[in-house]
Amino acid sequence: MSGGYFITGTDTGVGKTVVGLGLMRALKDRGRRVAAMKPVASGCRERDGILYNDDALRLQAEGSVGLPYSTVNPYAFAPPIAPHLAAAEVGVWISIPRIVEEFRGVAAQVETVIVEGVGGWRVPLDERETVADLAAALGLPVILVVAVRLGCLNHALLTVEGIHHSGVALAGWVANRLEPACSRAEADIDTLRRRIPAPLLGILPRLARPDPAAGAAHLHPERLAAWVTSVFGCRPARGGATSGNS
């Protein structure tokens, strides 16, 4: 599988979309063609008989190519609950093979596809599979978004351990300062910098809304390029970052 990154987080609501939008804008500013998917979303709202997710709409709008909403977000559910529960309530099975096929179609049109997960790394998609299984099926390196707040050290390091045990590469992580008043935030970030075996791609301040330009200003995709070179021994194409399988 080629051309992208899978964004996960230490929890739900930690800023995965903010990071995804920022990375897309940063790569576009460097001349790359990008697109995004949010394959599974709950808490969607209905319009003209179709369920839409606000974050998925933002990712769709930031892409370099026009994609149908159903491609960006194949599985949309109304209740703001865990996706496997929302899917079960309406008799839907979240098919990872279908998502992989949608991804392949998107990847054929652009250089980099950003895929945003739902919730955290081990969130169930059905009775057996989780977000981790989706990331593994896509074969994409992972970017971890860490909400810097009380408890983040344990959450972040457990997620890193889970990513490692899933056999998926961790390409980098982003510190998102969701709580500006968090005591010892810099010390927490320094602790994670020493313990996470992947580059810190940026430190985000708390943003009032998911703004691609604001996110891009605090991210460093060149560190992804350096990671690709160090891990796979290849130089990324013009513009900075690509996955090692491209």
Tell me which residues are annotated as active site: 38
* CA–CA–CA angle 139, 142, 148 (5° rounding): 165
C-alpha span between 44 and 12 (Å, rounded): 15
Buried/exposed 25-55: b ≥16 CB within 10 Å, e otherwise = bbbbeeebbbbbbbbbbbbbeeeeeebbbeb
Chain-centroid distance, C-alpha 95: 19
For the purposes of burial, counting CB atoms within 10 Å of the CB of 222, is it exposed (0-12), middle (13-18) or buried (19 or more)?
A: middle
